[in-house]
Structure 1
Amino acid sequence: MPDIIQLLPDNIANQIAAGEVIQRPASAVKELLENAVDAGATEIKLIVNDAGKALIQVIDNGKGMSETDARMSFERHATSKIKNIDDLFHIKTMGFRGEALASIAAVSQVELKTKKADESVGSYIEIDNSVVKKQEPVAMEKGTSIAMKNLFFNVPARRNFLKSNASELRHIMDEFIRVAMAFPDIFFSLNSNGQEVFHLESGSLKQRIVQILGNNYNAKMVSVQEKTDYMNIYGFVGKPETAKKTRGDQYFFVNNRFIKSAYLNHAVMGAFQEMIAKDSFPMYALFIDLDPSQVDINVHPTKQEIKFEDEKIVYAFVQSAVKHSLAQFSITPTLDFELDANIQSLDAINKPFTEEKKSSVASSSLYNTFSKKNQAHFIDTKSDLKHWKEFYEPAKEVTINNQQTIDHGPLTIDDRQTDIGALIQLHNTYIAAQTTEGYILIHQQNAHERILYERFADAIAGQPISTQKSLFPVTLELAAADVALMHELLIDLNDLGYHLEAFGNNTFVIQGTPADVPQGNEKQSIEKMLEQYKHFSNDLKYSKREKLLRSIAWQQSIKAGTVLSQKEMKVLVEELFACATPNTTPNGKPTYTEFKKTDLDKMFGR
């Protein structure tokens, strides 16, 4: 039998290798930006068209390459950074494996222009499907310009797996932000379809963070800086009040390389323990510097997952540094607790204790009873404490006439019954209502989420919600990463009663909102909706529209702790049981639970 094992052709081998390195346009952006940083550039410009599918171009003013190096750079595993095995364990550059350009050339059409400072002309190279089509001299300034066009043109199956332009652009922006944040001393810009999205002047780390994440962090960050012989840590963490429902504003860098580490994230979360809600995430941008021999960054194709020689030391150091910084800036709780804002507003706190009030209090029998020894048995229950028994008085009976119980299907309100009867709100969170079989306990936020979700689903399906025009339009400024997300959601938001217009690079004008959104709360409403949407975005099983419906339903729902009037509770209950699925929230949480009278009787031996 003839031999059947053969070597793969170079172009096919390169395409297979490219699958590890270039998974989407953002992957190529990362590699090209890191190459520009390694070239010593002080200015780096990123240009993308069609979310990188049509064009990704990076222009830098770095040291450039010679004609020979320009050609060699596209060979697989061609690198200037590794000469022996020891070099692999002392990596101080962003790129080092010599895979990026070869992989990019295997799945796109590439044009490279590059020139060294000491050479009179540069080199121009054109590559198509790993094959050099043209190489010639070119006049240009020092630096490198590399443009990759028509990504995956020769791998249509891979191209078909790409997401929408808005989604791919967000991934590109994520990679851009990670590199730009690590090097605040370098100018970065991002231009998408002819519009400048980012223009980041060189400056301090704090300035760069604010440029990227928004001005709201400017006065709400705490500096972190600790140095030891083993490692250094520096950067910023957000104050507890900036914590969000999503972990988007969290960045770890090791030797200036962005990494993902659930382990180190746990260390930071531990430092914030009891300072933020359990389902919230603090902002942080933390940089760890340590000997490269103590880190293995070659464990994943993206180099975003690394291994530490002694991860327990790093964990303890990170947590300690963050705790120390929060304590230094008087963020952590102390024994000198501040009064709750609601308590501080009481008359007893904010009004002066006059001599007249002193004498009035001192003359009361309750004051005399507790200001003298062995007088507890003389407490006057007929005067000062005459209302204590009211705490134990039974609540007024409440009824809801139902045609059927939960055993036979969802509870429904009798259409002929116009008066639901008195309802009781417990802990400003639950609504208790009597039924023919016992009583039900409704969670007001869960119930309202279900009501709003079905209302919004109807709106998206063709029954748009009317918009309440803003008397004074509000300007909404978003971080650049959120701008792309907003553009993706604008059409559906319009059906849901939100009327927003783009106004400048990172700004929208809120011209109108649904009637349910109070005037003056428009900006906060949309910001919270975006945060909740990003929170849901981690779940791939939901469509964009489904995530939006759930996000707005959660954002606009009546939160636990809100006091409701009898009329508000009645409307809530009636609307809940008019829903197609009244028993759960969109996320599957129960909206109410039933307590049967027979079970109550058993509890009391009846």
Structure 2
Amino acid sequence: MSDIIQLLPDAVANQIAAGEVIQRPASVVKELVENALDAGATEITINIKDAGKTLIQISDNGCGMSPTDARMAFERHATSKIKNANDLFCIRTMGFRGEALASIAAIADVELRTKKVEDELGTFIHIIGSEVKTQEPAGVNNGTNFLIKNLFFNVPARRKFLKANSTELKHIIWEVQRVALPNPGIRFSLIHNGTPVYELPAANYRKRIVDVFGKSLAQSLVNVDEDTSIVKIFGFIGQPKFARKTMGEQFFFVNGRFMRHPYFHKAIMQAYEQLLPPDSYPSYFLFLELDPGSIDINVHPTKTEIKFENERDIWPIVHAAIRESLGKHNVVPSIDFDQSGSIDIPVPKRSAEGIRFPDIKINPDYNPFDTDKQHSGGSYTPSSTTTFREKKNLDNWEDLYEGVQLKIKTENEPVAVRQSVDFSEARAEHFTGKKVLQLKQRYILTPVKSGLMVIDQRRAHERILFEQFLEVLKSDSVASQQQLFPQTIELNPADAAVLRSILEDLLSLGFDIREFGKDTFVINGTPGVLDVTSPELIVEKLLEEYKNSPVDARTKAKEQIALSLAKASALNYGIDLKQEEVDHLIDNLFACSTPNFTPDGKKVLNIIPLEDIEKGFLR
């Protein structure tokens, strides 16, 4: 029997490694920019076309490479950072594995131009799919210049699953943010299809954060500075009143390296406890410095997951540092112990005008034994107008829900198994103000035949708006409500790039938004189906939702726009609804094609069975 175990060819091994290291164009940007930082660059320029699918060019003014080093850099596990296994436990450089260039060269057309300051000539290398096509001396600038063309040209399956350009650009912007924030002394430029996205001059940490995320963030930043024998923590956090409904401005850095750490994130969220609006997230940009020997960054190919030797000791330090910073800036409510037992009742001045004491009105003709003038048993007799309204609503609801079966997904059951709720019992009187209750300014409660129906008012509004926007997209003409006074909105470079990528779809939805200078837009009109009092707020919320909801394909882009706009425009919790508003919301909800779920699959309503209610009263 012949032997069946064999070594993989280098080209195949590199492609396998590329599957872990290079997942999308943003991965290439990350790896090459990190190499530029390790080379001592003070200026780094990132130039991309078609979100990196066509071209990624990274140039720097770092130390450059000799001809031999330039060729060796493309070999697997070739690195200048590691000499022995012990070096893995005291790493301070960004790259160290020696996999990046080999992986990139395996799945792209790569050109490298590099030169050391002391050399007269530099080196030009051309590699396609791990095969070296050219290596020769060349007259090039000091530093290193990489051109990565036709990414995944020989791995069609991987290229096929790349997302829309707007999504891939979003990931590239995220990677640039993660490397630019901890390196404020380095100048970064990001250019997409010839248009500058970022022009970040060398600055301090605070200025770099503002340059990346926009001037609006400057007023919310609170300084954090805590130095202990275990860890040094510095950076900035956002004031609670500026918290956002979606995540995106939460950053941890350890020794200059970006990391994800849910455990430390929880420490921050607990520090903000009872200070944040519901479902909100504070901004934070925290830099941790500690002994490299007490962490392990070699646990994931992308090096964004880091293990700490003493994370349980660091957790309370992070928590206390945030609380202290909030307290120093009078964000945490203070307690005056001298007044802690008193009750502060304002006393009006004697000369105060307009103060009237309550009058006591007495009906001298009142006779409790005169039953002809009293309502029996405390019952309520509606007026003729009310009776007509109730009857009209009853007819409408019975016509609307006659024979309708609402399908509710039950827990621990497959999707095919459904519980049916008959809406023939959802009588109009349930929605006339006597049997409808708004709970905690969040839920709408009403009895149905099988128990109690609970509707999430915001999710219901999301479903309604989503279906309205989809109908608008299908129509040829869209009504746009022009603003009497056009609103100007200034965005950070990343948000401006996202807005440009979806501007055409927003126009089809009824928005009239025009670019007005660098990263500035004018909102002239909004969709007529929206009751918009603050157009700029709607656009900002739309961008937040869109950035955090990736689009799978271009054909899904308009549907994603409709979903993001519905989320951004839906009524918030904490709002009292009038009776007619409740009626209108319920009418429109059950006229939807899928009233029981939001467009992204969350429950809009729930039925609490009568048996469950009765069980609560059993001893």
- Residues 1:589 and 2:603 aligned together: yes
Question: Structure 1 residue 574: deviation in Å?
Answer: 3.8
Deviates more, 1:107-116 or 1:394-403: 394-403
For 1:409-488, list aligned pairs within 5 A: 409=405, 426=438, 444-462=457-475, 465-488=478-501
Go from structure 1 to structure 2 and tell me whether the alpha carbon gap of 1:157 and 1:250 turns closer, same or farther (over 3 Å shift): same
Question: Structure 1 residue 478: deviation in Å?
Answer: 2.1
Residue 521 of structure 2 is matched in structure 1 by: 508
Question: Structure 1 residue 314: deviation in Å?
Answer: 1.7
Aligned equivalents of 1:50, 1:332: Cα separation in 2: 46
Residue 7 of structure 1 is matched in structure 2 by: 7
**Structure 1 SS opposite 2:469:** helix
Go from structure 1 to structure 2 and tell me whether the alpha carbon gap of 1:408 and 1:7 turns closer, same or farther (over 3 Å shift): closer
Residue 53 of structure 1 is matched in structure 2 by: 53
Aligned equivalents of 2:156, 2:552: Cα separation in 1: 26
Contact map agreement 1:447 1:592 (CA 8 A) in 2? no
Residue 374 of structure 2 is matched in structure 1 by: none
Aligned equivalents of 1:495, 1:510: Cα separation in 2: 14
Aligned equivalents of 2:380, 2:187: Cα separation in 1: 68
**Structure 2 SS opposite 1:300:** coil
Contact map agreement 1:459 1:465 (CA 8 A) in 2? yes
Go from structure 1 to structure 2 and tell me whether the alpha carbon gap of 1:189 and 1:437 turns closer, same or farther (over 3 Å shift): closer
- Residues 1:276 and 2:257 aligned together: no
Question: Structure 1 residue 509: deviation in Å?
Answer: 2.1
* 1:354 partner letter: K
Contact map agreement 1:11 1:129 (CA 8 A) in 2? yes
Residue 561 of structure 2 is matched in structure 1 by: 548
Residue 342 of structure 1 is matched in structure 2 by: none
For 1:170-209, list aligned pairs within 5 A: 170-209=170-209
Question: Structure 1 residue 451: deviation in Å?
Answer: 2.6
Residue 97 of structure 1 is matched in structure 2 by: 97
Deviates more, 1:237-246 or 1:33-42: 237-246
Aligned equivalents of 1:270, 1:538: Cα separation in 2: 32
Aligned equivalents of 1:273, 1:198: Cα separation in 2: 35
Go from structure 1 to structure 2 and tell me whether the alpha carbon gap of 1:381 and 1:294 turns closer, same or farther (over 3 Å shift): farther
- Residues 1:354 and 2:349 aligned together: yes
Contact map agreement 2:451 2:607 (CA 8 A) in 1? no
Residue 419 of structure 2 is matched in structure 1 by: none
For 1:6-155, list aligned pairs within 5 A: 6-155=6-155
Aligned equivalents of 1:141, 1:147: Cα separation in 2: 14
Question: Structure 1 residue 48: deviation in Å?
Answer: 0.8
**Structure 2 SS opposite 1:403:** helix
- Residues 1:495 and 2:508 aligned together: yes
**Structure 2 SS opposite 1:448:** helix
Aligned equivalents of 2:447, 2:50: Cα separation in 1: 59
* 2:467 partner letter: E
Go from structure 1 to structure 2 and tell me whether the alpha carbon gap of 1:599 and 1:131 turns closer, same or farther (over 3 Å shift): closer
Aligned equivalents of 2:320, 2:89: Cα separation in 1: 28
Go from structure 1 to structure 2 and tell me whether the alpha carbon gap of 1:118 and 1:512 turns closer, same or farther (over 3 Å shift): same
For 1:511-526, list aligned pairs within 5 A: 511-518=524-531, 520-526=533-539
Aligned equivalents of 1:69, 1:234: Cα separation in 2: 37
Aligned equivalents of 2:612, 2:39: Cα separation in 1: 75
Aligned equivalents of 1:600, 1:320: Cα separation in 2: 43
Contact map agreement 1:502 1:509 (CA 8 A) in 2? yes
Contact map agreement 1:432 1:439 (CA 8 A) in 2? yes
Aligned equivalents of 2:85, 2:545: Cα separation in 1: 47
**Structure 2 SS opposite 1:285:** strand
Contact map agreement 1:260 1:305 (CA 8 A) in 2? yes
Go from structure 1 to structure 2 and tell me whether the alpha carbon gap of 1:468 and 1:434 turns closer, same or farther (over 3 Å shift): same
Question: Structure 1 residue 590: deviation in Å?
Answer: 3.7
Residue 340 of structure 1 is matched in structure 2 by: none
Aligned equivalents of 1:78, 1:295: Cα separation in 2: 23
Question: Structure 1 residue 311: deviation in Å?
Answer: 1.1
Question: Taking every aligned residue pair, what percent have the same amino acid on both sides?
Answer: 46
Residue 266 of structure 2 is matched in structure 1 by: 266
**Structure 1 SS opposite 2:219:** coil
* 1:75 partner letter: E
**Structure 2 SS opposite 1:182:** coil
**Structure 2 SS opposite 1:158:** helix
Contact map agreement 1:22 1:103 (CA 8 A) in 2? yes
**Structure 2 SS opposite 1:74:** coil
Aligned equivalents of 2:28, 2:333: Cα separation in 1: 45
For each residue in 1:504-535, what CA deviation from the matched residue of structure 2 results, as whole angstroms up to 9, or x when unmatched?
44232212102354565100111122223344
* 1:403 partner letter: E
Question: Structure 1 residue 472: deviation in Å?
Answer: 2.7
Gapped regions of structure 2 (runs ≥ 5): 338-344, 364-377, 407-421
Aligned equivalents of 2:24, 2:450: Cα separation in 1: 59
* 1:212 partner letter: V
Residue 236 of structure 1 is matched in structure 2 by: 236
Aligned equivalents of 1:70, 1:290: Cα separation in 2: 33
Aligned equivalents of 1:117, 1:408: Cα separation in 2: 78
* 1:551 partner letter: S
For each residue in 1:76-120, what CA deviation from the matched residue of structure 2 results, as whole angstroms up to 9, or x when unmatched?
111111112221111111011111111111111111111111111
Contact map agreement 2:167 2:550 (CA 8 A) in 1? no
Normalization by structure 2: what TM-score? 0.81
Aligned equivalents of 2:614, 2:17: Cα separation in 1: 71
Deviates more, 1:90-99 or 1:467-476: 467-476
- Residues 1:403 and 2:398 aligned together: yes
Question: Structure 1 residue 123: deviation in Å?
Answer: 1.4
Deviates more, 1:516-525 or 1:562-571: 562-571
**Structure 1 SS opposite 2:105:** helix
**Structure 2 SS opposite 1:356:** coil
Contact map agreement 2:186 2:202 (CA 8 A) in 1? yes
Aligned equivalents of 1:381, 1:333: Cα separation in 2: 45
Contact map agreement 2:437 2:446 (CA 8 A) in 1? no
Go from structure 1 to structure 2 and tell me whether the alpha carbon gap of 1:559 and 1:382 turns closer, same or farther (over 3 Å shift): farther
- Residues 1:164 and 2:164 aligned together: yes
Deviates more, 1:156-165 or 1:282-291: 156-165
Aligned equivalents of 1:395, 1:564: Cα separation in 2: 24
Residue 291 of structure 1 is matched in structure 2 by: 291
Deviates more, 1:484-493 or 1:469-478: 484-493
Contact map agreement 1:529 1:552 (CA 8 A) in 2? yes
Aligned equivalents of 1:143, 1:505: Cα separation in 2: 30
For each residue in 1:5-57, what CA deviation from the matched residue of structure 2 results, as whole angstroms up to 9, or x when unmatched?
33222212211122121111111110100010011111111111121111111
Go from structure 1 to structure 2 and tell me whether the alpha carbon gap of 1:39 and 1:451 turns closer, same or farther (over 3 Å shift): same
Aligned equivalents of 1:462, 1:281: Cα separation in 2: 37
* 2:603 partner letter: K
Question: Structure 1 residue 295: deviation in Å?
Answer: 0.7
Question: Structure 1 residue 198: deviation in Å?
Answer: 0.5
**Structure 1 SS opposite 2:146:** strand
For each residue in 1:220-242, what CA deviation from the matched residue of structure 2 results, as whole angstroms up to 9, or x when unmatched?
11111111222211111111112
Aligned equivalents of 2:76, 2:455: Cα separation in 1: 64
Contact map agreement 1:246 1:534 (CA 8 A) in 2? no
* 2:6 partner letter: Q
Aligned equivalents of 2:501, 2:379: Cα separation in 1: 54
Contact map agreement 2:551 2:560 (CA 8 A) in 1? no
Aligned equivalents of 1:105, 1:441: Cα separation in 2: 57
Gapped regions of structure 1 (runs ≥ 5): 338-347, 366-379, 384-392
Residue 588 of structure 2 is matched in structure 1 by: 575
Question: Structure 1 residue 486: deviation in Å?
Answer: 2.2
Go from structure 1 to structure 2 and tell me whether the alpha carbon gap of 1:11 and 1:445 turns closer, same or farther (over 3 Å shift): closer
2:575 paired residue among 557, 562, 568:
562
* 1:117 partner letter: V
Question: Structure 1 residue 202: deviation in Å?
Answer: 0.3
